[in-house]
Amino acid sequence: MRAALCILEVGVLSTVLLYRATGDQLIRPGYRNPGVVLRLNERSVQSLKKEVLMIIGSLRGLRMNDVFEKPVKRLRLTMQNMQIVSVTPPSKFDIMFIPNSRDQVRIEMAGLGLTTTAVVSTQFKNFKNMFVTTAMQGLSLNLQLRMYADINGHMQVLIEKCMANLADARIDIAHTRRVPTNTQKLAGKLQRQVEEKLCPFIQSKLVQQVNKYLGSMKSKTRLVELFQPRSAYALAPPKTSVLLNTIALEDPAVYSSLAKHTVLDYSIMPEPHVVQPSALEIPLKGEISWDGRGGTPFIPPSIRTGPFSSQHMADFISTDYPINSMLANYHNRKIFEYRVTSSHPHYGKYVRDSCAVPMCIGVVLPDIGKRYPGTQNEIFVKTTSAPKVVIKDGAALVYIPMQVSVCAVKGRSIVPVLTIAMKPVLNLHIIAKNQKLYARITEKDKNQIEMFTDITKSIIIETIRLALRDGMSFRIPGMITVRSMTPRLIGNSLVVGLMTEMNRAKIGAMVVDNIRKLTQYF
* 144 exposure class (CB count in 10 Å sphere: 0-12, 13-18, 19+): buried
Strands 155-174, 222-224: pairing is: parallel
The Cα-based distances of 12 to 47, 88, 263, 413 in angstroms read: 12, 19, 23, 59
The pLDDT of residue 124 is above 70: no
**Phi, psi (degrees; rounded to nearest 5) at 346:** -100, -40
Query: Could you tell me where in the chain the CATH 3.15.20.10 domains are found?
Result: 220-499
Q: Over range 480-495, report the average pLDDT.
A: 76
Cα(195)–Cα(193) distance, integer angstroms: 5
- Confidence at residue 453, expressed as pLDDT on a 0 to 100 scale: 53
User: Which of 58, 183, 19 minimizes the C-alpha distance to 508?
Assistant: 58
Q: Binning pLDDT at 50, 70 and 90, where does residue 290 land?
A: confident
Residue that wins the pLDDT comparison between 152 and 385: 385
* 499 exposure class (CB count in 10 Å sphere: 0-12, 13-18, 19+): middle
Residue that wins the pLDDT comparison between 298 and 211: 298
Contact 403, 417 (CB under 8 A): no
Give, in words, the CATH class of 43-218+504-521: alpha beta
Out of 5-14, 134-143, 265-274, 407-416, least confident range: 5-14
Q: Residue 14 carries which DSSP code?
A: H
Q: Residue 454 carries which DSSP code?
A: H
- Confidence at residue 41, expressed as pLDDT on a 0 to 100 scale: 73
Residue that wins the pLDDT comparison between 448 and 92: 92
Out of 29-43, 62-76, 123-137, 170-184, least confident range: 62-76
- Confidence at residue 230, expressed as pLDDT on a 0 to 100 scale: 32
The pLDDT of residue 48 is above 80: no
The Cα-based distances of 99 to 145, 234, 267, 289, 448 in angstroms read: 12, 19, 8, 12, 47
Give the contacts of 372 (CB within 8 A, at least 6 positions apart): 408, 410, 415, 417
Whether cis (ω within 30° of 0) applies to the bond prior to 277 is yes
Out of 29-38, 116-125, 402-411, 442-451, least confident range: 442-451
Query: Could you tell me where in the chain the CATH 3.15.10.10 domains are found?
Result: 43-218+504-521
Flag whether the pTM goes above 0.75. Answer: no
Q: Binning pLDDT at 50, 70 and 90, where does residue 16 land?
A: very low
Round the average pLDDT of the chain to a whole number and report it.
65
Q: Binning pLDDT at 50, 70 and 90, where does residue 62 land?
A: very low
Give, in words, the CATH class of 220-499: alpha beta
Residue that wins the pLDDT comparison between 326 and 519: 326
Residue that wins the pLDDT comparison between 292 and 503: 292
The Cα-based distances of 126 to 75, 175, 248, 363 in angstroms read: 13, 10, 78, 103
Q: Over range 376-405, report the average pLDDT.
A: 84
